[in-house]
Amino acid sequence: MSDTGSYERSASGPGEGSFGDYVQLLKPRVMSLVVFTALVGLLVAPVRLHPVEAFSAILFIALGAGASGALNMWWDADIDAVMRRTQARPVPSGRVEPGEALGIGLALSGLSVLMLWLATNLLAAALLAFTIFFYAVIYTMWLKRWTPQNIVIGGAAGAFPPMIGWVAATGSVSLEAVLMFALIFMWTPPHFWALALFINSDYSKAKVPMLTVTHGKKSTRNHILVYTLLLIPVPLWAAMTSIGGPLTLAVAVALNAIFLLGAIIIWRRDEETAQADGYRIEKRFFAFSILYLFLHFGAFLAEAALRPYGFGGW
């Protein structure tokens, strides 16, 4: 074997990913949602942080989310390699070694928690540590492969960022922070089950016990409606608190009416009709669910921005 030969192999071998591959390891799309909701949680809080502290808080919350994403990719590499949607991720595609993903995940977890503590307070850092643990261990390692309720309980991990943002600013948990948590927590099941309805074959192949795989699509449609009904009171309640106001209430009423209508249509549809039109309604419901969450948090933010001018709030 010549040196040149080994050199050429190392060029395409594992552990030689580009900088972008390591960024992909942190799930930047998920991070963008985390940044947005955490920022809203921080900005609607009644206590103002210095801009540098606020920037640091958001940065390290996002970094913590990225760390849990890297740990998720390390553990789920076998599942990701089977599913078409995730095959191109850095670990299953071989551009980043699993050990690297684990190392980066652990290192960034420690760094983000420690830095959030130094930048803000211990409670915010503890919540971030718990979120990383919950997503990486409780959801990824345990719930995801074990129960069709994986999305329901695992949704808590994605629901913590606005609460952490709030706690970073105020130092304590209050009703508003709990309601922002509950909004994302209750929104997650209908959002992901709508997705599962039209990419079911991927979950079947990977043997992930999604509700569509274990209980069928009819049951999933029922679940979407029930969880939508359970979701609706949460944003309406949040709109009545100190982070809400007339604008938030109007937005919440409109968005939840549309969301409920979508859930009812999905509930009434049968599989033949859905397959015939390529899951058009389910795809639209899924896309709208993203807008739903974005607009709710946007309304909280708008309310806080209008308050100094005497418009926002009750």
Partner 1 sequence: MALQPTHELHKRRFGRNFGVAGLLLAFVVLVFWLTVVKIQRGEPVQGFDHIPTAERTTDTPAAAGATP
Min. distance of Cβ 186 from partner 1 in angstroms? 35
Residues in contact with 14: Cβ distance below 8 Å, sequence separation at least 6, in sequence order? 94, 95, 96, 97
Residue 211 in contact with partner 1, rule: CB under 8 A: no
Min. distance of Cβ 20 from partner 1 in angstroms? 8
| Residue 234 Ramachandran class (φ > 0 left, ψ -120 to 50 alpha, else beta) | alpha
The conformation of residue 49, written as its DSSP 8-state character, comes to P
Region of 50-58, 125-133, 185-193, 211-219 interacting with partner 1 (CB under 8 A):
50-58
Min. distance of Cβ 306 from partner 1 in angstroms? 28
Region of 16-24, 161-169, 221-229, 293-301 interacting with partner 1 (CB under 8 A):
16-24
> Which residue carries 């071989």 as its tokens?
94
Residue 18 in contact with partner 1, rule: CB under 8 A: yes
The conformation of residue 140, written as its DSSP 8-state character, comes to I
> Which residue carries 């900088």 as its tokens?
19
- Answer for which of 26, 27, 44, 56 binds partner 1 (CB under 8 A) is 56
Residue 68 in contact with partner 1, rule: CB under 8 A: no
Q: Tell me the two tokens of residue 111.
A: 């760094």
Residue 1 in contact with partner 1, rule: CB under 8 A: no
- Answer for which of 16, 78, 271, 277 binds partner 1 (CB under 8 A) is 16
Instruction: Give yes or no for a contact between 150 and 121, defined as CB atoms under 8 angstroms apart.
Output: no
Q: How many CB atoms are located within 10 Å of the residue 225 CB? A: 18
Residue 19 in contact with partner 1, rule: CB under 8 A: yes
| Per-residue mark of binding to partner 1, 116-145 (x: CB under 8 A) | --xx--------------------------
Region of 46-54, 84-92, 213-221, 222-230 interacting with partner 1 (CB under 8 A):
46-54
Q: Tell me the two tokens of residue 310.
A: 């005497």
Residue 249 CA: distances (Å) to CA of 71, 234, 314: 38, 11, 10
Residues in contact with 90: Cβ distance below 8 Å, sequence separation at least 6, in sequence order? 17, 21, 22, 24, 25, 73, 96, 101
Residue 22 in contact with partner 1, rule: CB under 8 A: yes
- Answer for which of 1, 29, 52, 309 binds partner 1 (CB under 8 A) is 52
Residue 146 CA: distances (Å) to CA of 50, 141, 177: 44, 9, 30
For partner 1, give the closer residue by CB, 53 or 253. 53
For partner 1, give the closer residue by CB, 22 or 267. 22
Instruction: Give yes or no for a contact between 202 and 85, defined as CB atoms under 8 angstroms apart.
Output: yes
Residue 28 in contact with partner 1, rule: CB under 8 A: no
Q: By the criterion CB under 8 A, which residues form the site for partner 1?
A: 4, 7-8, 10-11, 16-19, 22, 50, 52-53, 56, 59, 118-119
